[in-house]
Amino acid sequence: MQLVLERRAERSTKIAILSPLLAIALTLVTMSILFAILGKNPAMALYVYFIEPLTDSFTLMEIAVKATPLVMIAIGLSLCYLANVWNIGAEGQFIMGAVCGSYLAVVTNGTDPGPWVLPAMLLMGALGGALWAMIPALCKVRYGANEILTSLMLVYVADLIMDYLVRGPWRDPQGMNFPTTASFDPVATVPTLFETGRIHWGALVALIVVALAAVMLGRTIKGFEIRVVGAAPRAAAFAGFNSKRLVLFTFAVSGALAGLAGIIEVAGPVGVLQPGISPGYGFTAIIVAFLGRLNPVGILIAGLFLALTFIGGEGAQISMKIPLDLTKVFQGILLFYVLACDSLILYRIRLIASPKKAIHGTA
């Protein structure tokens, strides 16, 4: 017997939907084995990871809070990946968005400047993220530099810039030397949606972003351009689409969305600019984008699912002493299976009985 990957004449829509679910199932099996090796009860661990957070209104809201930046960043990244542009540095764009937006909050701190501050901060955040993303985009278009490397390396530059600012010029004078800015004024804070819990208006912004992306990809010529450039570059050039301009466009949009997510995170749930504002949202969003099949609605669902792993991971650390790093292992395994299962969309697996080795004459 022999396993053969056979190309399908057309991509299978059924498998396109099933593939992420299959990937999740395989991940859960692998995780169970890992839990067992660590000496934990797999059933118990999976319950703490994936079910328990769904049983409590507080953790449900926390899932939405965590999903907000993930979804916003992943939507931007999906535009890049559809166009075959590999922005890996969303984490850096997230941080630079947070830094640029925070600038206004820091300089107006304690002066009660009025309600214009928050919108201006959001704008600055988006702009900061977009400009940071333009560095790898321009390097690629102008000099042919590989955007995977440049965008990734700029993450660490952004991280250090923020580190310098909160330890140096922007440090809170009353902060007992902790590396953090002063708490943002209420006018510089994203309001929460309800009296209790941390869920904030940013969650609605994320939903609007999902809707806009769905319309753009499905209905507009720009969305079509993005898909053609990614799927068949030469056909796109033949159609008259300019692939260089599209690199700049997708980087700018994804940078702006990451930056916006950054400033919303800082001005919302966190409330100050400080190191560690992101538990790797920019990187996890890459998994969200692929798990969601680079489709806006899929990304929304995938974002909520990965937010669940963050919350579940914290719960598992507290109640079962499972290391928090296992959450990252989980996310890595998930991405691995998602990409593997994707091959089933274009290929089918067939078992073929290997023919007898008949020998004919001598050649």
Partner 1 sequence: MLNPASASSPSARAPLLQAIAMTKRYGSFAANDSIDLDLYAGEIHALLGENGAGKSTLVKTMYGLIQPSAGELRWMGEKLELTGPSDARAKGIAMVFQHFSLFDNLTVAENVALGLDGVESFAAMSARLAQVSRDYGLPLDPNREVWRLSVGERQRIEIVRALMQNPKLLILDEPTAVLTPQEADQLFTVLFRLKSEGRALLYISHKLDEVKRLCDTATILRGGKKISTCDPRKETAASLARMMVGAEIGEVKATSARATTVPRLLINDLSLEPDDPHGVHLKGISIEVQGGEILGIAGVAGNGQDELFSALSGERLAPHEDNVIIDGHAAGHLSVTDRRKLGAAFVPEERLGHGTAPRMKLSENALLTGHAASHMVHRGFVDKPKTLETVDKTTKTFDVRKAKRDPEAVSLSGGNLQKFIVGR
**Least separation in angstroms between CB 143 and partner 1:** 16
The gap from C-alpha 189 to its chain's centroid, in whole angstroms, comes to: 23
**Least separation in angstroms between CB 73 and partner 1:** 25
Is residue 170 packed enough to be buried (19+ CB in 10 Å), middle (13-18) or exposed (0-12)? buried
Q: Which is nearer to partner 1, 168 or 240 (CB)?
A: 240
**Least separation in angstroms between CB 341 and partner 1:** 18
CA 245 – CA 175 distance, rounded (Å)? 45
CA 24 – CA 80 distance, rounded (Å)? 24
Q: Which is nearer to partner 1, 43 or 237 (CB)?
A: 237
- Which residue in the block uniquely carries the two structure tokens 């330890």? 167
Give, in order, the Cα–Cα distances in Å from 136 to each of 89, 231, 280: 9, 22, 20
CA 19 – CA 70 distance, rounded (Å)? 21
Q: Which is nearer to partner 1, 176 or 351 (CB)?
A: 351
Question: What long-range pairs does 13-20 form, CB within 8 A, spacing at least 24?
Answer: 15/344, 15/345, 16/293, 16/345, 19/293, 19/338, 19/341, 19/342, 19/344, 19/345, 20/291, 20/292, 20/293, 20/298, 20/302, 20/338, 20/341
Contacts of 13 (CB under 8 A, 6+ apart): none
CB atoms within 10 A of CB 55: 9
Q: What are phi and psi of 262, to 5 degrees?
A: -65, -50
**Least separation in angstroms between CB 254 and partner 1:** 20
Q: How many CA atoms lie within 13 A of 133 on its CB side?
A: 36
**Least separation in angstroms between CB 217 and partner 1:** 11
**Least separation in angstroms between CB 238 and partner 1:** 6
Q: How many CA atoms lie within 13 A of 49 on its CB side?
A: 25
**Least separation in angstroms between CB 13 and partner 1:** 11
Q: Which is nearer to partner 1, 58 or 219 (CB)?
A: 219
Q: Which residues bind to partner 1, rule: CB under 8 A?
A: 2, 6, 9-11, 219-222, 224, 227-228, 231-232, 234-240, 242, 352, 354-355, 358, 360-363
Q: Which is nearer to partner 1, 79 or 334 (CB)?
A: 79
Cβ proximity of 129 and 260 under 8 Å: yes
**Least separation in angstroms between CB 308 and partner 1:** 32
The 3-state DSSP class for residue 240 equals coil
Q: Which is nearer to partner 1, 173 or 240 (CB)?
A: 240
Q: Which is nearer to partner 1, 237 or 324 (CB)?
A: 237
Q: Which is nearer to partner 1, 223 or 280 (CB)?
A: 223
